[in-house]
Chain A
Amino acid sequence: EAGVAQSPRYKIIEKRQSVAFWCNPISGHATLYWYQQILGQGPKLLIQFQNNGVVDDSQLPKDRFSAERLKGVDSTLKIQPAKLEDSAVYLCASSFYPSGGGRTDTQYFGPGTRLTVL
């Protein structure tokens, strides 16, 4: 089966510009996650969707970051305006089962988008 797809793979922008990332999860996966991975650190969850609804966005900087998953399939993450500290790899992951309820489910990760803000 095809894995999680992300585009673009690399993006370089100036600070204060806007940028958008796209993710297509594995077919049939109900839950989609966006993570931010700063160089030298582990990934940090930004937002979690179940189908087309947000279940956790507590760590998303909402003044500049937004995300949507309108039809419950693919998703976009946007940053506007970008800051230098947003330079990172943005990872998308998906899992089959709806989250919560004590179920442990494997998350499958895409290759990521490496963002450089100059």
Chain B
Amino acid sequence: AQSVTQLDSHVSVSEGTPVLLRCNYSSSYSPSLFWYVQHPNKGLQLLLKYTSAATLVKGINGFEAEFKKSETSFHLTKPSAHMSDAAEYFCVRGDSGAGSYQLTFGKGTKLSVIP
């Protein structure tokens, strides 16, 4: 089965410092990859998605991710953390099957931002 691995369950950064959330995916002929964010008691919100058009993907709120096929990685970064970035982040892969499209979620990385 296809999978994604989020390498850190919890990341803590100071406000104004860079954010790096790491994600590796199991190899596939053509993965679609996403990052979603989940704030407490809120629904999942799409940050960005990779669909093979460009390896560097820019998302909302200043986040971006780079697809590296040689490393099977799709790490999420942001130059400067803001307090409002504190949330749970999920790396997700999408796979098409026979008439279906399935998202497989990583276990999540909780981001804490220290004032």
Flag the segment in B12-20, B68-76, B103-111 that touches A.
Answer: B103-111
The reply to whether A104 and B102 form a contact with Cβ atoms under 8 Å apart is: no
Chain A interface main SS type? loop
Contact A111 B43 (CB under 8 A): yes
Q: How long is the Cα–Cα vector from A4 to B106 in the complex, in angstroms?
A: 23
Asked whether, in the complex, the Cβ of B101 is within 8 Å of the Cβ of A105, the reply is yes
Interface residues contributed by chain A, number (CB under 8 Å): 31
Residue of A nearest to B31 (CB): A104
Question: CA–CA, A4 to B97, complex, Å?
Answer: 25
Residues of A contacting B46 in the complex (Cβ-Cβ under 8 angstroms):
106-108
Q: Given A40-B107, A104-B49, A112–B43 Cβ distance below 8 Å? A: yes
B26 at the interface (CB under 8 A from A): no
Within the complex, the shortest CB–CB distance from B48 to chain A, in Å, comes to 10
Which chain A residues numbered 25 to 81 have a C-beta less than 8 Å away from chain B?
31, 33, 40-45, 48, 50, 55-56
B105 touches A43 (CB 8 A): yes
Interface positions of A from 69 to 118, Cβ below 8 Å from B: 91, 93, 95, 99-112
- Where the two chains meet, the residues of B that have a C-beta atom closer than 8 Å to any C-beta of A are 32, 36, 41-46, 49, 51, 90, 92, 94, 96-103, 105-108
A residues near B, CB below 8 A? 3-4, 31, 33, 40-45, 48, 50, 55-56, 91, 93, 95, 99-112
Since A43-B90, A56-B97, A107-B103 are in contact, a sample of 10 more A-B pairs with Cβ atoms closer than 8 Å, ordered by chain A residue number, is A42-B92, A42-B105, A45-B103, A55-B100, A95-B101, A99-B96, A99-B100, A100-B96, A100-B99, A102-B96
